[in-house]
Amino acid sequence: MKQIILHTFTQSEVETLDFTRFEALYGHWPQLWGMELREKFDSLVFLIDGYDKYPDEIYCIPAIRRFYQELHKRWPWWSFFLSNEAGSMAVAYLCLIDGVESYKREGAPSCAASFDPQPLLQILRHDFSRMNYLWSIAGMSDAANDKRSDEILQLFTGGGCHE
C-alpha cells in the first residue's frame, strides 16, 4: 500500500526561509537506492500552515512563492517524490513561474491558474532529468517513468492544476 507523508511548513519557516526541519527529514532521500528509494516515490505532500486568512491562492502569495523557489533550488527532486494529493505538486510548481494569476469561474468550486506554459515546461524538462536519474537507481521501468511524466504534464495541460 502506498504511504503518503504530509509535511507541513509553518508560516515562520516560510517567512524566514528555514529549511532545517525539512532537510533533516528528507534531505537524504535522493541518496537512497533500490527498494528504499522506490518506496519514497510519489509519497510526499507539501502543506503550508498559517495562510488560511489570505484571500489569494497559495501560489500567488509572495512569501510562499519565494519559499518554494528556494526549496526547489535546494531540493530539486519534486517530480520523483511529490504526490499531487490536494494539488500539492501543482501548487509547488506554479510557485516557480512568474506571471501566475488565479481566477474562479462562476459556479466553479475551485480556482484555476492562468500562466504562460513555456517557463514551466523548461523547469519540468530540467526536473525530469533528475527524475529519470532517480528512476534508474530505484530500478523502475521506463514505461512507468513515461506514465509519471505524462501525469505531471497533465496537471498543467489537462485541467488538473486546480486547487
Asked if residue 58 belongs to a domain, the reply is yes
Average per-residue pLDDT for the chain: 89
Asked if residue 162 belongs to a domain, the reply is no
Asked if residue 102 belongs to a domain, the reply is yes
Q: What is the separation of C-alpha 71 from the centre of its chain, rounded to a whole number of angstroms?
A: 10
Q: Could you please report the per-residue DSSP string of 7-67?
A: EEEPHHHHHHT--HHHHHHHTTGGG--HHHHHTTTT-EEEEE-S-TT-SS-GGG-HHHHHH
- How far is Cα 14 from Cα 40, in angstroms, rounded to an integer? 24
Q: Is the pLDDT of residue 1 over 80?
A: no
User: What is the span of the domain harbouring residue 148?
Assistant: 5-157
Q: Could you give the C-alpha distances from 72 to 34, 138, 144, in angstroms and in order?
A: 24, 21, 24
How many structural domains does the chain have? 1
Asked if residue 163 belongs to a domain, the reply is no
Asked if residue 73 belongs to a domain, the reply is yes
Mean pLDDT value of segment 138-155 = 92
Asked if residue 11 belongs to a domain, the reply is yes
Does the global pTM surpass 0.85? Answer: yes
> If pLDDT is split at 50, 70 and 90, which confidence band does 147 have?
very high
For residue 120 the three cell numbers come to: 514551466
**Who contacts 80 (Cβ-Cβ below 8 Å, separation ≥6)?**
40, 41, 42, 130, 131, 134, 135
Asked if residue 92 belongs to a domain, the reply is yes
- How far is Cα 113 from Cα 77, in angstroms, rounded to an integer? 23
Asked if residue 76 belongs to a domain, the reply is yes
Q: Is the pLDDT of residue 161 over 60?
A: no
